[in-house]
Structure 1
Amino acid sequence: MPSDSTPLVGNSLVTQTTVVSDLIASFLGQRLGKHSLSPALFDLLSTVYTLKDRGSQVEVAERLGISAASTSEAVRLASNKGLLEQVADGTDKRRKRLLLTPKGKQKLQSALEELQAADQALLEGLRAEEVEAAISVLRKAEQNLVRAVRSAPSE
């Protein structure tokens, strides 16, 4: 339980980024839903896309930070929806590469358009200098957190 001196709102960067993150997730969840996409399915499709048709389930799982079993289930569901296909790797027949189908590419394109809409909604009324300053602060905060996570003692 927080103490009386623990701020829950106000000038805390963690609090504000959490609020904004939650609102973005809600906005995107609504917008992606119009295209029969969940945020998790969008993450899967975009990760396969960024691996440029060379990624395996193992590589996708590592990038997304999820278990092999969860990735396998997500790939199965996406394949059943006609969004992904698995093809044998030319050099290692045991390894299956994940490819976006034309339908998967179309869904991903629709999702990217929704991300642009979210970006526009987020930045409405802000000057270019304000956006640049916010991005700069967030990048530095990200670097600080990466260092903190890496230096934290593991359990």
Structure 2
Amino acid sequence: MKKLLFTAIAALFVATAASAQDAGNWAIGPRMNIYTNTGDGVVGLGVFARYSFTDNWRIEPSMLALLHNGCSIDMNVDAQYVFHLSDDWDIYPAVGLTANDIGRWAAGLNIGGGFDYRVARDWDLTAGLKWQPMFDDLRKNPVTISIGACYRF
């Protein structure tokens, strides 16, 4: 079963790599996150970057300062599969890892998605929603709403 799953994943990577048109593109920009289900509404401000491996696959690391009592940070890295709906609209599901200290340090997963809207030749507006199930049992799992902009180069 493991060999079959590995073969299917490898075939998916090969198929998407063969159609690569935007491989090697970078994007960087500011982001604001709103963390719900944390007891208090927590806001995060920071930056994110994107690197496209192929026309569809990209990775997105981000770091945000969480603005609440005892300011802390949230570090994420997500893998995204981009569906190009038109020249201006993209949507993507995303999965990844997170580490933050909302209350105390913990690590967890990111499960969600979002969209990008091209507003100029090299600028996008971006928004997303993700659930962050944490690996500790003591905290609520935040749902994060994010908005931002990015410059593509």
Bigger CA radius of gyration: 1
TM-score, structure 1 normalization: 0.21
Q: Which structure features the higher share of helix residues?
A: 1
When normalised by structure 2's length, the TM-score is: 0.21
